[in-house]
């Protein structure tokens, strides 16, 4: 099932074109935007643009969103328990008494 899903994603990627937009490139570095246009098989299209996407310094992600994304990505390589341990360690870095112990606990232990 996972391989089928990955193949569908791979096939979809081959349909994506990334083209620099001269109008948006002129705005860099003050603004970093993107324009997206979806073309359907029947020839119709949908288009939208955004100036400063979520995650840029001007629109930083919320702490909870960053933690959720870290958990989502890290659990592909580590157990959920290990990910939570790392998150607690990072949250409590300002309370660390022994930096060597903290650094040693960061070494990855595979799932």
pLDDT in tens, 48-85: 888 888 888 888 999 999 999 999 999 998 889 989 98
CA 33/CA 56 separation, integer angstroms: 10
Q: Where does residue 70 rank: exposed (0-12), middle (13-18), buried (19+ CB within 10 A)?
A: middle
pLDDT in tens, 38-54: 888 898 999 888 888 88
86 phi and psi, to 5 degrees?
-65, -40
Whether residue 110 is predicted with pLDDT greater than 60 in this model: the reply is: no
Q: Kindly report the length of the chain.
A: 111
């Amino acid at each position: 099932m996972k391989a089928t899903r990955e193949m569908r994603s791979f096939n979809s990627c081959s349909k994506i074109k990334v083209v620099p937009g001269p109008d948006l490139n002129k705005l860099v570095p003050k603004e970093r935007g993107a324009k997206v246009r979806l073309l359907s098989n029947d020839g119709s299209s949908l288009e939208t643009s955004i100036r400063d996407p979520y995650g840029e310094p001007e629109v930083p992600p919320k702490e909870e969103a960053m933690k959720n994304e870290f958990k989502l990505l890290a659990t592909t390589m580590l157990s959920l328990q290990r990910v939570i341990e790392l998150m607690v360690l990072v949250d409590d870095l300002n309370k660390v008494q022994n930096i060597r112990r903290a650094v040693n606990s960061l070494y990855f232990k595979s799932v």
